[in-house]
Amino acid sequence: MSLGLPGEVVGVHGTSVVIDCWGTECVVRIESPDETLLPGDFIIADEGIVVRRIPPEDVDRTMELYATVLAEA
């Protein structure tokens, strides 16, 4: 099992988005045709694919949780 990483969408290019994961930019694919992402959205990505969009009200809590988990790894 892998742990997907959260990131902020900084660019949209067709079926791919560029995300910022704590200062590192990554390109990930949007596999769901129903998913519309815009710069400023936060997502969870795993193995180069967008898994889900993080609801705006959950972004701060989710980012804090991941920071804690990764700091203890």
Domain of residue 23, CATH code: 2.30.30.140
The per-residue pLDDT for range 9-47, each reduced to its tens digit, is 999 999 999 999 989 999 999 998 777 899 999 999 999
Residue 14's Cβ-side half-sphere holds a number of Cα atoms within 13 Å equal to: 1
Q: Decide: 53 and 42 in contact? Cβ < 8 Å.
A: yes
User: Encoding tokens for residue 61?
Assistant: 């809590």
Domain count, the chain: 1
pTM of the model: 0.89
Task: Look at 72 and 10; give whichever has higher pLDDT.
Answer: 10
Domain with 30 in it: 5-72
DSSP string, the chain: ----EEEEEEEEETTEEEEEETTEEEEEE---TT----TT-EEEEETTEEEEEEPGGGHHHHHHHHHHHHHH-
Highest-scoring range by mean pLDDT, 1-5, 19-23, 31-35, 68-72: 19-23
